[in-house]
Amino acid sequence: MIVDPTQDRSSQYLPMIFLPVSKKKAALLLSAYPTLVREYAATDGRRFTSVGISESQLKTASGIAEIDRSLPWRYRTKRIPVKMTPTPAMASPTLLADALSNQSYSMILGRIHGLYGGRCQVCGSDHRNRNGRRIAPRLMATWNYQPHANSSVKKGLRELIGLTAVCNDCLSMFSLGDARPCYHLAKESRKSEFHRAISHLSQHNGWPVDKVQAAITATRRQRRRWDDVIWASDISWLSKTGILPSEQTQLGLRAIHQDYTLWKGSVILDRTFRATLTAA
Ligand SMILES: [Zn+2]
């Protein structure tokens, strides 16, 4: 049954939890668990399928591994805690968007949003603009940082190991230990967002606020060791997972003018990193 949430009066009394799943997965869940899962009409023009279960049915649904795995991190039987992923000062948190061509980046966005139904994987929410059109979540890249074995050599390689679709609120939690926390927001709103993100993280992980603050301090301490390191970024994970084939991986013109280079088809180097190569 397809329900238009704007017409469905019962939904006012039935809080729904939306599952960030692809259309394919949505179809599977709908056919396998018709009494638990409901489909909502995609009214936003982006054609994402919204599938939801009611809060009252969550207990039953969580007992089913297939549904449990599809639930946003917050609602799983074994809740996935948010682990802060600090970005050192000289590593761009938005490298993929900044350096790749629009075409390459749109392919990545399309794949990730398709996999998670255009919703935030962490809280399951969607955000809409004034016209009711869904604002696609942001992409958060997770990198594995490998500094040079000799700590006096201030360069390193970071390897892309995952992408997560997250809403602005959830992205703030991940960035709390960064050199530029809440970097995705306008400068004037970052300070208030920082404090809001602390309570958001405390709620998500079920931690008291002082535990969150201790975790931020520890993350910052770890990150500062890498703040003066210049990073090359290995993005071969994108082609290995089929998210972006290597022949479609291209830098944008603006990035080329800013002196970014794609080395061996999968490592993004910037001018500063190349300077260290010549110096060595
Ligand atoms: Zn979220």
> Predicted confidence band at 85 (pLDDT cuts at 50, 70, 90)?
confident
DSSP H helices in 146-266 = 168-174, 187-205, 209-224, 236-240, 253-257
Q: How far away, in angstroms, is 134 Cα from ligand 1 center?
A: 14
C-alpha to C-alpha distance for 47 and 70, rounded to whole angstroms: 19
127-128 and 50-54 strand pairing: unpaired
pTM of the model: 0.87
Q: 3-state class of 101 per DSSP?
A: coil
CA angle 180, 181, 187 (to 5 degrees): 75
What is the identity of the amino acid at 11? S
Ligand 1 centroid to residue 99 C-alpha, Å: 25
Pick the closest to residue 91 from 163, 183, 169 (CA basis): 183
Backbone angles phi, psi at 211, to 5 degrees: -70, -35
Name residues with Cβ closer than 5 Å to ligand 1, which is an ion. 120, 122-123, 167, 170
The sign one gets for the Cα dihedral 146, 149, 151, 152 is negative
Question: Given this model, what pLDDT does residue 243 score?
Answer: 96
Give distance in angstroms: CA of 72 to centre of ligand 1: 9
Encoded tokens for 218: 């520890």
What does the pLDDT look like over 156-209, one tens digit per residue? 999 999 999 999 999 999 999 999 999 999 999 999 999 999 999 999 999 999
Distance 171 CA to ligand 1 centre (A): 7
Phi, psi of 95, rounded to the nearest 5 degrees: -55, -45
Burial (CB < 10 A; 0-12, 13-18, 19+), residue 212, is: buried
Average model confidence (pLDDT) across the chain: 89
> Could you tell me the CA-to-CA distances from 32 to 4, 28, 94, 122 in Å, in that order?
22, 6, 39, 24
